[in-house]
Structures are given as C-alpha cells and as structure tokens.
Structure 1
C-alpha cells in the first residue's frame, strides 16, 4: 500500500495526462477549472468530516 503522502503509479500517470491537458487551456479556462477543483475538494472535505463525526 502507498504511504499517504505519495502517489500511486496510476495517480502519477493521471497527473501527467492532466498536466498536458491544462497546458492547452486558456488562462480563463484554467482559472475556472481550478475554482471547480477547489469546490469539489471542499465538498470532499465536508463529506469526510461528516463521515468521521458519525
């Protein structure tokens, strides 16, 4: 099992693919994408906090 602070090979591959995709975005598209990622991450955090409490 991977340690929590490292990425699996599959995750590393996905990250490389994402890097290539992001390079093709305009600055406006990249900013919108970043904001959406942050929103999704916040939702994920909220779900984890809720599950830990219950």
Structure 2
C-alpha cells in the first residue's frame, strides 16, 4: 500500500547477514526475550532457516 519494504531482501541485506542477526541479536540487551530463549535452548538453528524461507 505504501511501498515500504516488507522483506529483508527488499532492504538490500544479504541472506547470511540476516541469518547471523538471528544468532547475535539476543546479545544486544540485557533482558530475556524470545530470541534469548531460542538461542540458549539451541532452537534457533532450525528456526532461522524457517524464518529466512518466510521473510527473505
């Protein structure tokens, strides 16, 4: 509707950078988030691939 990007690829960010972001973003703030849970439990590996398929 407004022409705003809705996918990472539309921002010009490559796939590897986005994948790395999923694994590093939870370290930015000292608080517990869903990213913290997924990374500490080892679930992010599979989830990152699924997120890339949906949003890249």
With structure 2 as the length reference, what TM-score do the two structures score?
Answer: 0.34
Q: Which has the higher helix share?
A: 1
Report which structure shows greater RCO (CA 8 Å, sep ≥6): 2
- The structure whose Rg is larger is 1
